[in-house]
Amino acid sequence: MLSVESSPAADTSANGEARSTGVGPAFGAKRAIWIVFVFIVRTLCLAAALGTALQLFELVRFQKLQPRALGTSAALGSVAMLVAGAYAYRMTRRSFAVEASDEFKRTLGLCAVTWRTIALAVLAGVALCMLNVFCLMHFPPPPAEKFTALVAASAEAGWPRCWWTFYVVCVTPVTEEFVFRGVLFAGLLRSTSLAFAACMTPLVFMLLHVWGLTIYPPALALILLLGAAAQLARILSASLLPSIVVHLSYNLGCAILVHA
């Protein structure tokens, strides 16, 4: 049985930003926003660089560009997000003193929870998946719809769908939850109120998904609900793990329906 660590969700002291004596800047709202910005830019730039490198390889090897499977976009995106997420973790850890590992874990919610909490998080993710399928969206998306390559990959059999599944089940739940419910929420909480941090984090999470969902507005409501559910799990448990489980359960439910 996993046990909950008896610690607050994050340091809420008024001088929270000034307490760190780590190598990098002290961790607070400004630092958290900067880390999220760097994460997004690095993900996009690395994905673009990998795509360009692949095109150059094709030109040298085949003297022409090869037909691009949609799964390739998912593959490039997963690699880019993993690398950018690792760098975001490094930036965040450097905002705390080397000897302040306990403070780092408490602030980011890197602690265990009970199996009951995990089970409730799974139920929340599955419920959101059902809401998505039966009320808000048609999933998987119809082939006639014009979605981004990543979303469209879920509607294709074979290689594209396999990479899409790996991306949404293994990469995005851990990486996005660490960046948003971990870094952004904890940073805002150190410098503002709980209400502001709890409201802004899901909103930013939704807005950063708009680029791929503007042609299907009901999805935005679902993304906002997913962010709110993960945020609630983060606050009630004082841990990042339940929010990851909510996100993973939702994505896994969608992936199972896609493969069914």
Burial 45-58 (b: 16+ CB within 10 A, else e): ebbeebbeebeeee
Q: DSSP code of 68? A: P
Q: DSSP code of 134? A: I
Burial 147-171 (b: 16+ CB within 10 A, else e): bebbbbbbbbeeebbbbbbebbbeb
Domain-by-domain residue ranges, the chain?
Answer: 17-259
Summarize the confidence of residues 64-86 as an average pLDDT. Answer: 78
Q: What is residue 36's predicted lDDT score, i.e. its pLDDT?
A: 97
Summarize the confidence of residues 82-86 as an average pLDDT. Answer: 96
Q: What is the mean pLDDT of the chain?
A: 82
pLDDT in tens, 192-239: 999 999 999 999 999 888 765 555 677 778 889 999 999 999 999 999
3 close to 114: Cβ distance less than 8 angstroms: yes
Task: Tell me which of 58-62, 96-100, 121-125, 126-130 is least confident.
Answer: 58-62
49 close to 31: Cβ distance less than 8 angstroms: no
Q: Does residue 11 surpass a pLDDT of 60? A: no
Summarize the confidence of residues 119-126 as an average pLDDT. Answer: 96
Q: Residues with Cβ < 8 Å from 126, sequence gap 6 or more?
A: 249, 250, 253
Q: What is residue 254's predicted lDDT score, i.e. its pLDDT?
A: 85
Q: What is residue 18's predicted lDDT score, i.e. its pLDDT?
A: 41
Query: pTM here?
Result: 0.84
End-to-end CA distance of the chain: 33
Whole-number Å distance between alpha carbons of 225 and 127: 11
- Would the CA dihedral through 235, 83, 171, 73 be positive or negative? positive
Per-residue confidence at 1, pLDDT binned at 50, 70, 90? very low
